[in-house]
Copies of this chain bind each other. A is one copy, B any other.
């Protein structure tokens, strides 16, 4: 029993954590509850029920399936469902009419042929990447509706009546979803994408700033665990591609809201996101050196340290500024300054290494290598950050 008890507490804790991580999840669940209850009551009350008959079922189905977390996803699914039902319904009636006009013997063969060809073609089209990203659900509904309509044993006028009822109920369901998701605490996919990109930039910026402080500390100084944790945050950036693409696809369905116009350049976010990931990859390589002890002579260490630190911190600041200006949607003027500084330090480091060699005859090349690698990767990062800056400017 104790085990069970501990497990229940564990689950309860997870509940709390998931709600706390993103309170919008709780609100979303409430919204779904309200939408379903509303539609269910339509279904329950007899006058409405008598008007639409069994078709009211479709309103509930639509709400359950269409209501998604973000406005974009809900709108996209709703539009997909509506359009696909309309189109497939019309085609299905056509197929049904053709088949029943061709005589009792040919009818089932023709119907089977239509269903087969349609299912084959539509399933294949679903493999198109562009279709998969935006119209996958519509394709599914298309197959479903076409089959149901063309196969149904009803007469054409019965079908038209049924289609009318079904479309109305789907419309009711979809409208309830869309209205609630837009007007009650809306979750905009576009805004999420916007924030995700800005946050990712900030995470990298944090790492670089932290790295500048940490890397040349002597190993004796004990690092606080918190600092380490904030350094490791950048890892999540590496795998953000999928999330960004999904959000961008949803965002394209969304109407204008807040700072965003209807045709906001969401693609640009994906481009910047790609650059950020590239930068994160470099940072991952850098991270391997964070705990390596550097045994180079003090004098050299001191000199390289200064400029490396500067590069790292300037890059970090630039990224943070960029992230800020993405958030506020203004031009990143102060970030440009930091990038210029970082570039300058990179140049300094270069000339330092070039000229310094004459004074440092005693060095062991092996000892300088970690320093050199760090410097070299940092130079790469400066270039990356510069590119990100250009992306943001656009």
B29 and A124 contacting across the interface, CB-CB below 8 Å:
yes
Residues of chain B within 8 A (CB-CB) of A390 are: none
Q: Given known contacts A64-B147, A143-B64, A281-B281, is B37 in contact with A115 (CB within 8 Å)?
A: yes
A60 and B151 contacting across the interface, CB-CB below 8 Å:
yes
Within 8 A of B (CB), among A341-394: 350, 353-354, 356-357, 360-361, 363-366, 368-370, 372-373, 375-377, 380
A364 and B369 contacting across the interface, CB-CB below 8 Å:
no
Residues of chain B within 8 A (CB-CB) of A33 are: 115-117, 119-120, 123
A60 and B127 contacting across the interface, CB-CB below 8 Å:
no
Nearest CB on B from A58, distance (A): 10
Within 8 A of B (CB), among A286-327: 288
Tally of A interface residues using CB under 8 Å = 78
B285 and A380 contacting across the interface, CB-CB below 8 Å:
yes
- A140 to B64 alpha-carbon distance, docked (Å): 7
> A144 — nearest CB in chain B belongs to which residue?
B64
Interface stretch, picked from A40-48, A190-198, A219-227, is A40-48
A147 and B281 contacting across the interface, CB-CB below 8 Å:
no
Q: Which among A57, A241, A366 has the highest number of chain B CB atoms within 10 Å?
A: A366
Residues of chain B within 8 A (CB-CB) of A368 are: 365, 372
Nearest CB on B from A375, distance (A): 7
> A46 — nearest CB in chain B belongs to which residue?
B153
Tell me if A61 is interfacial: C-beta within 8 Å of chain B: yes
- A364 to B372 alpha-carbon distance, docked (Å): 13
14 residue pairs of the A-B complex, CB under 8 angstroms, read: A18-B124, A19-B124, A25-B124, A28-B123, A36-B116, A37-B119, A44-B108, A44-B111, A44-B153, A57-B148, A285-B380, A360-B365, A365-B368, A365-B372
Which A residues have a C-beta under 8 Å from some C-beta of B? 14-15, 18-19, 25-26, 28-30, 32-34, 36-37, 40-41, 43-46, 49, 54, 57, 60-61, 64-65, 108, 111-112, 115-117, 119-121, 123-124, 127-128, 140, 143-144, 147-148, 151, 153, 238-239, 241-242, 277-278, 281-282, 284-285, 288, 350, 353-354, 356-357, 360-361, 363-366, 368-370, 372-373, 375-377, 380
